[in-house]
Structure 1
Amino acid sequence: MTTFAPERASPHVHPDSAFIRRHPAYFIAFGGGAGLSPVAPGTAGTLAAFPLFWLFNYFLDFVEFLLLIDVLFIVGIWACGVTGKALTDHDHGGMVWDEITAFLLVLLFTPDTLVWQAFAFLLFRLFDIVKPPPIRYYESKWHGGFGVMLDDLLAAFFTLLCLALWKAFVI
């Protein structure tokens, strides 16, 4: 019987495809490999949300999709927590499940046009990278899988707030 006991990696581990295949949590946390991008893994993870959105949006109604995002968030708490411990880095840059899940939420509430979705993408990446208050505050207070997932959920909230304000007052 194969067990999936997470291993502790050395602090200098550079995760690769062999690493993410060692445990389901690693594979999930690294977004199926999107987080292995040598350049801007968070951006790669956010981009990976697009095909997932198109697939889920085709097969699920709004409420089902929202419930799925809830499940993905909970799975992300577990996967990012396990992977962060294994890497001895609670928020390793290659762990992109948080970006994928949070951006799915953004896309679910964003008008279904390329312009709106591109604007949402840019805003989300800005908030995720810059981490304006209170995002940075909560990121520093919450560690482990929940903290990893929370800061991107807050970035999603700020993105949706900006989009709603833009739609209400500019268009």
Structure 2
Amino acid sequence: MRKGIAKLIATVFYVGLIPIAPGTFGTIAAIPLFYALSFTPLYLYLAITVLIILISVWASGVAEEIFGKTDPGVVVADEVCGYLVTMILVPVTLGNIFFGFLLFRLFDIAKPYPIRKFERLPGGWGIVMDDVMAGVYSCITLHILGRWFFWA
């Protein structure tokens, strides 16, 4: 039962089992969750995001045992965490949702310094925290560009 629940969470209801670009689809799966959370007060958005990160760390660590490898590609809960961090305090528009998606995928794939170092953390922490840091980079970039070019 524990492994089944962890697999369900780590793969975001099996989205991670999509054979092509599971990370991209995992990020897409985060968009409706972000949209729903965008209607909550900031403190609740942040609390739920932290809770999702902690649950994802647990589920991702168990998923490593299930799949028998470090950071299995089918684990996409980390993408959800990273995207939720990306979108902190970002105005909800289709453009921002899309641009946040693009920035997060860019930072998640490129892993500029020191994001890659977070992959070395043990178990689920290493799986999730590099994406959280990619989300931090994306959030900062999105806010800077948004304030310069897009937002009033």
Q: TM-score with structure 1 length normalisation?
A: 0.81
Structure 1 vs Structure 2: percent identity of aligned residues?
36
Q: Is contact 2:38-2:92 (8 Å) kept?
A: no
Larger Cα-atom Rg: 1
1:142 maps to 121
Q: Which residue of 2 aligns with 1:46?
A: 27
Aligned length: 150
CA RMSD of aligned residues (A): 1.5
What is the aligned partner in structure 1 of residue 72 from structure 2? 92
Check if 1:106 corresponds to 2:86: yes
Task: After TM superposition, give the deviation of residue 87 of structure 1 in Å.
Answer: 1.1
Match in the other structure for 1:14:
none
Instruction: Quote the offset at 1:95 in angstroms.
Output: 0.3
Take 2:118 and 2:42, find their aligned partners in 1: how far apart are those partners?
29
TM superposition shift of 1:105: 2.3
Q: Secondary structure at the match of 1:73?
A: helix
Structure 1 position 73 matched with structure 2 position 53: yes
Q: 1:30: which partner in 2?
A: 11
Q: What 5-or-longer segments of structure 1 have no aligned partner?
A: 7-22
Q: 1:82 aligns with which of 48, 62, 72?
A: 62
Q: What letter corresponds to residue 130 of structure 1 in structure 2?
A: A
Q: What's the counterpart of residue 38 of structure 2?
A: 57
Deviations 1:92-147 (A, max 9, x none): 111000101221222232221111221111010011111111111221x2131011
Q: Does 1:117 align with 2:88?
A: no
C-alpha deviation, 1:5, in angstroms: 5.4
